[in-house]
Structure 1
């Protein structure tokens, strides 16, 4: 079984596997898999939204919408140079979105509105059915995938009524968005119509039994093992505090949901010595190894910089980090690790240490 590429889209299934192991196995996204996002609602939030299916759907769509806005312009080729809420930007981005829609499966008016909102903000005027389908296509396209899936962590403590509404909302999303909705976490003992599958997750390249790849991009907001960075931020802005949807990094740019990555890139952009850097690259140690996603890479100097959030203190993540660091060091890479709190509170020290290492590798001074 190819694991993620073999799981169904357009349906709700329960994954009989540890949620932390799942998170470790999907970063970077495996070839052929859908664009996999994670949704981890809190119990209080879920109980409030799950009083009706419409309330739950509205909550999930808010998260998907925030992620799509934050990922702009990854899903709109040619829009990289368009910025700001001014009239010129809006006039340029709308026809670009309509042209993009005319050559694919996107609904033109929705894509154009989403592109305008990425620049200027504001709510969507489309009904939930249109938004669900449109957002799923946009999020899949951001990663060059043909479909999207949402990995939903079910919290403990849902009563029978809340479970029924929760499953009905997930079924609505799967059907309307034509996306996979894969459940992990607490069992749904009051609802028996969700089939269970047990994917075979690959093990670490050293034969340790640890998941093959490490967790979602580092710098995540604390919630649990394997939690991805969250959405909820304005397009291009820092991470919001209320988001519960995590999404993978896109190669070549800092993760829009990571305040640490955004702050470090803003600082590096002012430093001439920082040229040659590349964000969120995938590295394959050898043909039989699992690929590794690197937060920040200077390839010529063989320097890797990792920004670690509080989730890296967990046992599984810590072990996976050590294993991948050894593989990189064997290949001649140095791995510089910084806590995200260091980046956010003492950026000058972080810059000084990176610069010192790069200049040493380059044989330069000053």
Structure 2
């Protein structure tokens, strides 16, 4: 068996493991692994996109592009204070991008255009080959990783012709982007050139089998925007194990709400107006035991030992539900309270959510104001 850091990049392989176990093992992103994004195309969309290799590639590149734009400025050091194209904003990010490219592997004109589009929008003028390589480098750099990989969930119902186009598109992406393309889900019976590998998964807080000893938190928020947090989904699945704006999921960045989670963004916007909410840290990693798998916390007040979790639809599945209960127990043993809210509750009744968090924090602080 291979660990995530040993899986190949630059080629297509099939993961011979359960898809639910894979999802749990990637939350948070394993140390040493590439920056792993999750692509979940629906059958109808895939059949439409996969009529040609070029169509499939264009669809995936749109998703990767949207993720890179949403993660700005994590991949561009020095751009954190630039939030719009007004004034010298565009010139500033362009200068920062060219400076970054001059000392690394990035292609300067592409990185500069991407930085400008992160502020002002608009389509890319570069060909697919340049975009694939550039986006893979940007996404890897967002998490301080040396490479990127896309975990593709193959839907049921692809015919022989669609399977061939699908695999050819995945091979194009792997080769041009120098990224891993790892397949899970439905088998591809009509294509026999994709080798199977079996990664060694660590699932759940006690995934290594180590005894549940005294838990310890990760401490202060991880340094810098590139520190990995959890993965959330980018579209219909936002609020689940990954977050974003279509069919692509990507990890959160430690220290900030996930840009693809409407609930996290809404809660942070509300908390930013509350004096009592100081001391919070988003998407932190928590280690129950030195030999155990780390877990990722949506929102943490470490001094008050308060954890807030925002649960999307994926938390209702059996595997995720069981993992949530296990991690809650470990946190409670160490003196943490876990306050769970549905993402729909955050979006529709945020005042109740704020009131309950405030009540708990004030109780822990021994104050009423």
Aligned residues: 366
Distance 1:9 1:340 in 2: 34
| Shift of residue 201, structure 1, vs aligned partner | 1.4
> What's the TM-score once normalised by structure 2's chain length?
0.91
Contact 1:308 1:340 in 2 (8 A): yes
When residues 43 and 235 of structure 1 are mapped into structure 2, their CA distance, relative to the original with a 3 A threshold, is closer
Distance 1:185 1:215 in 2: 35
Counterpart secondary structure, 2:13? strand
Contact 1:53 1:165 in 2 (8 A): yes
Match of 2:275 among 259, 268, 272: 272
Counterpart secondary structure, 2:57? helix
| Shift of residue 148, structure 1, vs aligned partner | 0.2
Gaps of 5+ in 2: none
| Shift of residue 311, structure 1, vs aligned partner | 1.0
Distance 2:143 2:327 in 1: 24
Contact 1:329 1:335 in 2 (8 A): yes
Counterpart secondary structure, 1:130? helix
Contact 1:213 1:291 in 2 (8 A): no
Q: Alpha-carbon deviations, 1:253-294, whole Å to 9, x = none?
A: 000000000000000000001000000000111212210100
| Shift of residue 8, structure 1, vs aligned partner | 0.1
| Shift of residue 200, structure 1, vs aligned partner | 2.2
| Shift of residue 86, structure 1, vs aligned partner | 1.6
Distance 1:362 1:165 in 2: 59
Contact 1:174 1:181 in 2 (8 A): yes
Distance 2:37 2:344 in 1: 25
Distance 2:167 2:300 in 1: 42
Match of 1:287 among 287, 290, 295: 290
Match of 1:242 among 242, 245, 262: 245
What's the C-alpha RMSD, in Å, of the aligned pairs? 5.4
Contact 2:149 2:180 in 1 (8 A): yes
When residues 218 and 311 of structure 1 are mapped into structure 2, their CA distance, relative to the original with a 3 A threshold, is farther
| Shift of residue 202, structure 1, vs aligned partner | 2.5
Contact 2:40 2:247 in 1 (8 A): yes
Contact 1:70 1:235 in 2 (8 A): no
| Shift of residue 206, structure 1, vs aligned partner | 4.6
| Shift of residue 161, structure 1, vs aligned partner | 0.5
| Shift of residue 230, structure 1, vs aligned partner | 3.2
Gaps of 5+ in 1: none
Distance 1:321 1:144 in 2: 27
When residues 224 and 141 of structure 1 are mapped into structure 2, their CA distance, relative to the original with a 3 A threshold, is closer
> What's the TM-score once normalised by structure 1's chain length?
0.92
Contact 1:51 1:162 in 2 (8 A): yes
When residues 217 and 173 of structure 1 are mapped into structure 2, their CA distance, relative to the original with a 3 A threshold, is farther
When residues 19 and 210 of structure 1 are mapped into structure 2, their CA distance, relative to the original with a 3 A threshold, is farther
Distance 1:219 1:45 in 2: 43
Distance 1:126 1:344 in 2: 37
Distance 1:13 1:220 in 2: 37
Contact 2:307 2:337 in 1 (8 A): yes
Contact 2:243 2:261 in 1 (8 A): no
| Shift of residue 312, structure 1, vs aligned partner | 0.7
| Shift of residue 204, structure 1, vs aligned partner | 4.1
Q: Alpha-carbon deviations, 1:108-140, whole Å to 9, x = none?
A: 000000000000000000000000000000000
Distance 2:37 2:177 in 1: 14
Distance 1:184 1:192 in 2: 15
Counterpart secondary structure, 1:125? coil
| Shift of residue 252, structure 1, vs aligned partner | 0.3
Counterpart secondary structure, 2:283? strand
Contact 1:70 1:231 in 2 (8 A): no
Distance 1:252 1:237 in 2: 18
Counterpart secondary structure, 1:283? strand
When residues 280 and 154 of structure 1 are mapped into structure 2, their CA distance, relative to the original with a 3 A threshold, is same
| Shift of residue 85, structure 1, vs aligned partner | 2.4
Contact 1:304 1:336 in 2 (8 A): yes
* Corresponding residue number in structure 2 for 1:357: 360
Q: Alpha-carbon deviations, 1:234-265, whole Å to 9, x = none?
A: 99999999600000111000000000000000
